Structure 1
């Protein structure tokens, strides 16, 4: 599976309405919302598309009306970003510009577009409305929504949301709440908007140092490869049989590790194969960062329904030579230890570090793996059934996505990443099982 191709793009002709600003149905608090250091580090805008098989003529109206209702609870999304005197981002809730909402129609059947999991950027741009002002600090929206109806009766809901507002879990909770109100149901989960839960400590208590924040120099001149060659994005399917084979390899040395998860085994394969495919020099530091949801680690202070970013990215760091020479079981053991390292003390210490120091963990020799495997989008039912797929665009070059294989009821994993053309040709051979 690759991103939707240009042939599908030509099939997709969209007619859009003028964006309408949707405001909370009732008055909501003003003031400002604190954003944590983790929120402040999440500066991208994430586009997602939820695909539904059926609808009726009133689908856009129902979803739009429910948006005004859900914004009463998630009112920061109707605000705008601002900066504090210390240069930190905050949400200004006095400026209620609202959420731009667009209705659209497509002159084709939704099946004509093929797989909607990884979406070509041109098609994504037609299904997700992006405000021209989105990068302007005080006027850019934090959320936009577009409902697109297709001739077959299916529809898509395209969302663009600022990452500083949500991680994957918070986004799904918001979407589920929105869908519940559309069906006339009460919220099953009331959001916790208090992000001061993740405020840095005074004085800071940094128990590092952490490899997570080590700057990695590009001694292999990888930047030139990314600039010189075409960047190719591909996705790789690993069904249950392939994953079982991979886990056997990762645990072949029973003394190192007797068991591991599908995620750990697959992350080991991808990290090693990418480092080899990019032809990193043996002394090049190769860094693997893994997004970990730490909600369960802070049970004493983090209530259910926390609305914000509750992810941390611990890392494995070694030279490319060490990584390539060691068996995959050793790599898997390193990754498992890193994931298990995420405790409350680790999280608090990392937040203190991020609040005090500037850092750039995402150099070209680094790989960040973001897992969407636990995002339960099957609960997002606006009244016409659950979406059969959740899709997004191509990830940035240093980011690799782990997604469910196809629809929500499948148990395989799809790996999506981009590499220079020559490296991608090598990578796809190295991950063949």
Structure 2
């Protein structure tokens, strides 16, 4: 199928002066922000129910929201123009109200012709989704680029898709979810956002060197690119519930949906790629640290860390799901310690020894708030990540709760040669 999307020229949307908010000055990027200052992230929110003049309504609400979230209308600058990262004071958001890019688009197709709600889309349909968002050139954010790119595509059936691409340095996923909920509230007529936004929180602790070094290692992994198969899969809730029930009956502790789904992916992937039993595998999951760091309510800057779980491949592949869940649970219990000085969960030498293909990075979008965005016609029927901006290492995953009763996963987990084996392992589990 050929999807024709007619896009308007980009419009610069600036903070609305009607809100009476003041901006200006600079905001220093925290140690949580700094390593992500040029990294883009994209999400697609699919709204099945019609909203008359959706693009016009959202554009107006976006302008009003930027008056409250004015740093998003600014630019990231590097002190001295070096860009090399010479300390905490090198990177700032300049609050100059230069604005964000907004594109209104239309297509003659109905929404269900392009996006599947009850099953994973085919590879061809997944590529069509690329037309529904705007991306930064070369998939990196330059110093003069807007911090937010937004596209609203209206379909012939009245449904629409909101594509949001942003510079990760200005907000993490929870922060962007909070911002989009504010846009929705203003679109529905609220005089101001229900949550007062906070972008600078001087009480946040600085990340210890071990955390920053691990982050830089993961970001510097050589990308496998086209060698990886992008898969859009759903793990049925019945299967997840079996893992949770088995774990709880054995250990007397609850098991979350995230822990169960992550254990399933880790074990099935390890069995599919068949590394040697003594080979080390590294599981990485991103964790929101707002509670542990004592972040202020409404803080929308970055407050996430990468938590590491290392094991031998044989133990993961040949063990049961309970063992994988317990390893993940122990790592979650250690999260407060990630804010303390120390050698880290995994030493730098061991990190360098683990092959990129034996590294699995997972991020969960289930509780970020994207699914609670409402511009006046109801919440999105589906939220999905973009396959274009998955992180460079293999095994990067987006978790989303699927309305059909399972966990939806967009992943570049395995090379093309291992895709069939991975899907077969998942099928055995179901």
Which TM-score tier does this pair reach, normalised by the shorter chain?
0.7 to 0.9
**Contact 1:211–1:315 (8 Å) recurs in 2:** no
CA distance in 2, matches of 1:21, 1:351: 46
CA distance in 1, matches of 2:216, 2:63: 44
SS of 1:282's equivalent in the other structure is coil
| 1:249 Cα deviation after fit | 4.6
Q: What is the aligned counterpart of 1:308 among 298, 301, 319?
A: 301
TM-score (norm 1): 0.82
Runs of 4+ aligned residues of structure 1 deviating over 6 Å after TM superposition are 116-119, 208-211, 213-216, 350-353, 359-362
Segment drifting more, 67-76 vs 95-104 = 95-104
- Superposition pairs of residues 356-371 of structure 1, within 5 angstroms: 363-371=356-364
Deviations 1:206-239 (A, max 9, x none): 7x799967979xxxxx989x57x84322233222
Deviations 1:136-156 (A, max 9, x none): 622111101111111111222
Aligned alpha-carbon RMSD (Å):
3.5
- Superposition pairs of residues 1-12 of structure 1, within 5 angstroms: 7=1, 10=2, 12=3
Deviations 1:33-77 (A, max 9, x none): 121222222343112121223445532222111111111111111
**Contact 1:39–1:309 (8 Å) recurs in 2:** yes
Which residue of structure 1 lines up, in the alignment, with residue 130 of structure 2?
125
Which residue of structure 2 lines up, in the alignment, with residue 150 of structure 1?
155
CA distance in 1, matches of 2:45, 2:409: 19
Which residue of structure 2 lines up, in the alignment, with residue 285 of structure 1?
280
| 1:352 Cα deviation after fit | 11
User: In structure 2, do the counterparts of structure 1 residues 131 and 374 end up closer, same or farther at CA, with 3 Å as the change threshold?
Assistant: closer
Structure 1: gaps spanning 5 or more residues: 1-6, 217-221, 354-358
SS of 1:187's equivalent in the other structure is coil
- Superposition pairs of residues 332-351 of structure 1, within 5 angstroms: 332-343=325-336, 345-349=337-341
Which residue of structure 1 lines up, in the alignment, with residue 255 of structure 2?
260
User: In structure 2, do the counterparts of structure 1 residues 78 and 50 end up closer, same or farther at CA, with 3 Å as the change threshold?
Assistant: same
User: In structure 2, do the counterparts of structure 1 residues 97 and 213 end up closer, same or farther at CA, with 3 Å as the change threshold?
Assistant: closer
Deviations 1:118-163 (A, max 9, x none): 7856423321123548746221111011111111112221111112
Q: What is the aligned counterpart of 2:244 among 247, 255, 258?
A: 247
Q: What is the aligned counterpart of 2:66 among 65, 71, 85?
A: 71
Which residue of structure 1 lines up, in the alignment, with residue 28 of structure 2?
34
Between Structure 1 and Structure 2, which shows a larger proportion of helix residues? Answer: 2
Q: What is the aligned counterpart of 2:39 among 41, 44, 52?
A: 44
* Correspondence 1:235 to 2:241: no
Deviations 1:353-393 (A, max 9, x none): 9xxxxx98993321111111223334322122222221222
Q: What is the aligned counterpart of 1:413 among 396, 407, 419?
A: 407
| 1:251 Cα deviation after fit | 5.4
Segment drifting more, 126-135 vs 381-390 = 126-135
**Contact 2:40–2:136 (8 Å) recurs in 1:** no
**Contact 2:181–2:369 (8 Å) recurs in 1:** no
| 1:296 Cα deviation after fit | 2.1
User: In structure 2, do the counterparts of structure 1 residues 262 and 129 end up closer, same or farther at CA, with 3 Å as the change threshold?
Assistant: closer
Segment drifting more, 237-246 vs 192-201 = 192-201
